[in-house]
Amino acid sequence: MNNPIPYGRQNITEEDIEAVVSTLKSDYLTQGPRIPEFEEGFATYVDSKYAVAVSNGTAALHLCAMALNVQPGDKVITTPITFAASANCIRYCGGEVVFADIDPDTYLLDINKVREFLEASPKGTYQGIIPVDFAGRAVNLEEFRQLAEEYDLWIIEDACHAPGGYFIDSKEEKQLCGKGKFADLAIFSFHPVKHIASGEGGMITTNDKKLYEKLLQLRTHGIVKDESKYKNTPAFASGLDESQYSILDTQDYPQWYMEMQELGYNYRLTDFQAALGSSQLIRADDGLEKRRILAARYQEAFKNKDFIKGQSGVIEGHAYHLYILEVEDRLGLYNYLRENKIFAQIHYIPCHLMPYYREKGWQEGDFPNAENYYKHCISLPMYPTLQEEEQNYVIGKIKSFYEG
């Protein structure tokens, strides 16, 4: 195999390029018409009422924490097997991150471990939960919602790995990741290796109108421009005394008038990124279908192999951002694959073992399932343009490493 095979790769088509170039030639580069187009299209795709496009997935998490009014000292539970941003968003607001172990069969946050934390403390100790649809496997949010209501908690679904993924609820209905039926907010990422690529970019979905309006405000510096409120409204109606009339005059508010009502951020997506995202969204289902075909091939190739401790397998509703094997001598396999131009990856070093979180008191041994998973996990190449010949090459090299 002459060309290297990465674990993930974007797929940019001529239609994508045309969409971006068309936008670059238009009157808008930042907040233009392609933003609401992308938001509306994505909301329809995941079956949510509202969607807010932002600069990246990390910004999406931060804005969610702010919109839910996370305060210094608030305790929020999440999984240690995730990208650090899932936890960091709480720290940005001064909150306290509490990790709970994973289910070794699903690699997802173990609801029973979460319940143990909640039962061991007075109600009100914890404020929220951030479950992660890790690798593309959807969390059963119906179960988490029941637990959250029992303890008055909010839920942020980190669905960065799972647009188009779903789980089956108790009524045997499909519940799409990000739909918003069970989570207060859900977030997505459009990093190049994700299902939908816009270079950088993220999306927040919700069914809560108040949260939606709050997110729009926080996304743009906390600044509000509401023409229905300010246009043709006399300045003195705002309650200013006469000494302040010189600031706004006694005339109607002009159309340029706006207010910074709270401290927000510049977390906006650009119009040309939204154009790329909208173009990619058109073929998102096709890419998802191809990922599931690749996953089925991997499962069949490694079925009943002694060197496999576990694998992602074929799971209904799985979005397959990643396909993961658990193996012995993971480091040996990783290096062998790299020698053969196969650039597998590891997802993830447990968050609680990162130096930053070790300083908060977490240590090795706290979460045996997560730590055991990390010792054996390796993410195989998984992207829609991966050719059958390339996948067979990957499979063959893995087998040759273990079987000779």
Q: Which amino acid is at 169?
A: D
253 within a domain of the structure (yes/no): no
Do 194 and 58 fall within a single domain? yes
* Distance of alpha carbon 291 from alpha carbon 320, whole angstroms: 6
Cis peptide before 348 (omega within 30 of 0): yes
Give the number of other Cβ atoms within 10 Å of residue 59's Cβ. 25
230 within a domain of the structure (yes/no): no
pTM: 0.94
Q: Considering its fold, how many domains does the chain have in total?
A: 2
- For 55-81, what is each residue's pLDDT tens digit? 999 999 999 999 999 999 999 999 999
Do 197 and 316 fall within a single domain? no
229 within a domain of the structure (yes/no): no
Structural domain boundaries, residue 378: 284-403
* Distance of alpha carbon 250 from alpha carbon 391, whole angstroms: 71
- For 84-106, what is each residue's pLDDT tens digit? 999 999 999 999 999 999 999 99
Is residue 76 within 8 A of residue 48, CB to CB? The reply is no
- For 364-400, what is each residue's pLDDT tens digit? 999 999 999 999 999 999 999 999 999 999 999 999 9
* Distance of alpha carbon 206 from alpha carbon 178, whole angstroms: 7
In whole numbers, what is the pLDDT of the chain averaged over residues?
Answer: 93
258 within a domain of the structure (yes/no): no
359 within a domain of the structure (yes/no): yes
